[in-house]
Amino acid sequence: MFSVPGAYDRAITVFSPDGRLFQVEYASETVKRGATVLGVASPEGVVLAAEERATSKLQDPTFMWKIFQIDEHVGAAVAGLSCDAHVLIDQARIYAQSNRLLYDEPIDVEILTRRIGEIKQLYTQHAGVRPFGISILFGGIDRKGSRIFWTDPSGAYLAYKAWAIGAGGDAANEILEAEYKDSITLDDSVVLALKCMSKVLEDKIDAQKIRIALISSATKKFTKLAPADVDKYLKKLESAKKPGTK
């Protein structure tokens, strides 16, 4: 039995006869139209990458609006409505700091993801609200090592070794599934992330179009790469593409 979307998509609390919440599905479509972001976990740390094209020559090239620091040991990359992301990122930061104050230890990446997922889920079951049009990749280092978690507009969350979301998520995930290895180094993770972005953008990428953040297992510190550092990795990617190079 199939229902007409227009009859059931006006209220978030009403299921269609075939068991669908159309407003949640529409929020997921917003994510699919967003900029591509991805995360890669390795034994040496976590890489977060995002497509961030400047809309004007006057825009500050160092400003990031797709990758955020949550705590010293964890960051987040977002796809979808950036305005929705700011609300959830602020909540994630509050949870992280509260955990340090209450337990005197950094919050686990999974616990942080679950709490943000609970907020998202709450906005799928009350009238007068709408779902958050955002998916978030949380990446960080905790007691279990390097972690990548993804949460969608419904509030569900899953753990990944590497994952991409946004408009180019499918194309990037094909490369990640083919080339990711459990023993990958942090430097190779950055190169792999840039290779995915190169495929998604379908043109010559440069350091001004891509933003990269790292969380090293050794230091457990969130670090944003400067454009000059990103450019070095891009040159490494180009040299690896040339025949006869290793």
Element housing 196 (H / E): helix 186-201
207 part of a folded domain: yes
Q: What is the pTM of this model?
A: 0.91
Domain holding 191, by residue range, is: 21-52+62-241
Q: Where are the alpha helices (DSSP H) in 41-163?
A: 82-103, 109-122
> What CATH number is given to the structural domain containing 228?
3.60.20.10
pLDDT in tens, 8-17: 666 777 888 8
What value does the mean pLDDT take over residues 219-225? 95
Residues 78 and 134: beta-carbon distance below 8 Å: yes
DSSP annotation of 67 reads E
Residue 179 has pLDDT above 60, yes or no: yes
193 part of a folded domain: yes
**From the CB of residue 63, how many other CB atoms can be counted at a distance below 10 Å?**
9
142 part of a folded domain: yes
175 part of a folded domain: yes
206 part of a folded domain: yes
15 part of a folded domain: no
Residue 195 has pLDDT above 70, yes or no: yes
pLDDT of residue 86: 94
Of the listed ranges 6-20, 50-64, 70-84, 131-145, the least confidently predicted one is 6-20
pLDDT in tens, 151-174: 999 999 999 999 999 999 999 999
Residue 2 has pLDDT above 50, yes or no: no
